Structure 1
Amino acid sequence: MKNGRFSLAEFAAKVRTEGEREPEAGEAGESRGQSDSSEDFERLAGEIRTYLSAPRGMTEEERRQYSETLNRAVLGFPQEREQVLAVIEDRLFRLRAQSLPDYKHPYGSLAEALFAEVVGLHVLELVLANRQGLEEIQVLGDRIYEVRGGTASLSEFRFASVRDVERIQQNLVLYNNDRINPRKRWAEVMLRDGSRVTMTGFGFTSRPTLTIRFYTVRHYGLEALTAPPYRTMSEEMRRMLLAALRGRYNMVFIGPTNSGKTNLMKAMIAELPDDERVVTIEGRFEMMLGRDFPGKNIVEYETSEEDPAHSAAQAFKLALRQSPQRIIHAEIRDDDANIYVRACTRGHAGSMTTVHANRLEDVPEAIADMCMLDGRGMNPERLTKRIAEYVTELGVEMKVWRGRRIVSRIGEIRWDDGEVRVREWAVFDESRDAWFYPNTPSSRAAAWLMKEVAQ
Structure 2
Amino acid sequence: MKSVQDKFSTAEFAARVQSQGMEREAAAPVQEDSGSEDFDRLAGEIRSYLSAPRGMTEEERRQYSETLNRAVLGFSQEREQVLAVIEDRLIRLRIHTLPGWKHPYATLAEALFAEVVGLNVLELVLASRTDLEELQVVGTRIYEVRGGMAAMSHYCFGSIRDVERIQQNLVLYNNDRINPRKRWAEVMLKDGSRVTMTGFGFTSSPTLTIRFYTVSRFRLEALAAAPYFSLSDRMVQLLLASLKARYNLVIIGPTNSGKTNLMKALIAELPDVERIITIEGRYEMMLGRDFPSKNIIEYEAAEDDEAHRSSQAFKLALRQSPQRIIHAEIRDEDANIYVRACTRGHTGSMTTVHANRLEDVPEAITDMCMLDGRSMNPERLTKRIAEYVTELGIEMKLIGGRRIVSRIGEIGWQDGDIHIREWAVFSEVENEWQYSNPPSERAAAWLDQEV
TM-score by length of 2: 0.93
**Compared CA separation, residues 368 and 92, structure 1 to 2 (3 A):** same
Partner of 2:297: 299
The 5-angstrom pairing of residues 256-335 of structure 1 reads: 256-335=254-333
- Correspondence for 2:369 among 368, 371, 374: 371
Give a deviation string over 1:54-78, Cα, whole Å, max 9, x none. Answer: 1111111111111111111001110
Partner of 1:178: 176
1:196 paired to 2:194: yes
What is the CA-CA distance between 1:32 and the residue it aligns to? 4.9
Partner of 2:83: 85
- Give runs of ≥4 in structure 1 deviating > 6 Å: 25-28
Partner of 1:156: 154
Larger radius of gyration: 2
Give a deviation string over 1:87-144, Cα, whole Å, max 9, x none. Answer: 0001011111111131111211110010010011111111111001000000001100
Cα distance in 1 for partners of 2:356, 2:184 equals 28
Corresponding letter in the other structure for 2:193: S
- Correspondence for 2:136 among 127, 135, 138: 138
The 5-angstrom pairing of residues 24-423 of structure 1 reads: 29-30=27-28, 32-423=30-421
Give a deviation string over 1:352-396, Cα, whole Å, max 9, x none. Answer: 000000000000000000000000001010000000000000000
For residue 194 of structure 1, give the secondary structure of its aligned residue in structure 2.
Answer: coil
Cα distance in 2 for partners of 1:40, 1:206 equals 34
Cα distance in 1 for partners of 2:26, 2:396 equals 61
Q: Percent identity?
A: 77
For residue 374 of structure 1, give the secondary structure of its aligned residue in structure 2.
Answer: coil
Partner of 2:11: none
Cα distance in 1 for partners of 2:400, 2:219 equals 23
- Extract unaligned runs of 5+ from structure 2: 1-22
Cα distance in 1 for partners of 2:407, 2:293 equals 32
**More deviation in 166-175 or 440-449?**
440-449
- Extract unaligned runs of 5+ from structure 1: 1-24
**Compared CA separation, residues 217 and 31, structure 1 to 2 (3 A):** farther
**More deviation in 351-360 or 439-448?**
439-448
Corresponding letter in the other structure for 1:54: A
Cα distance in 2 for partners of 1:158, 1:347 equals 54
What is the CA-CA distance between 1:35 and the residue it aligns to? 2.1
Does the CA contact (< 8 Å) of 2:215 and 2:261 recur in 1?
no
What is the root-mean-square deviation in Å for CA atoms of aligned residues? Answer: 1.5
Cα distance in 2 for partners of 1:161, 1:404 equals 35
For residue 299 of structure 2, give the secondary structure of its aligned residue in structure 1.
Answer: strand
- Correspondence for 1:434 among 432, 435, 440: 432
Partner of 1:15: none
Does the CA contact (< 8 Å) of 2:31 and 2:99 recur in 1?
no
For residue 220 of structure 2, give the secondary structure of its aligned residue in structure 1.
Answer: coil
What is the CA-CA distance between 1:33 and the residue it aligns to? 3.6
What is the CA-CA distance between 1:218 and the residue it aligns to? 2.2
Corresponding letter in the other structure for 2:289: R
Partner of 1:19: none
What is the CA-CA distance between 1:34 and the residue it aligns to? 2.2
What is the CA-CA distance between 1:257 and the residue it aligns to? 0.3
**Compared CA separation, residues 29 and 396, structure 1 to 2 (3 A):** farther
Corresponding letter in the other structure for 2:330: I
**Compared CA separation, residues 77 and 271, structure 1 to 2 (3 A):** same
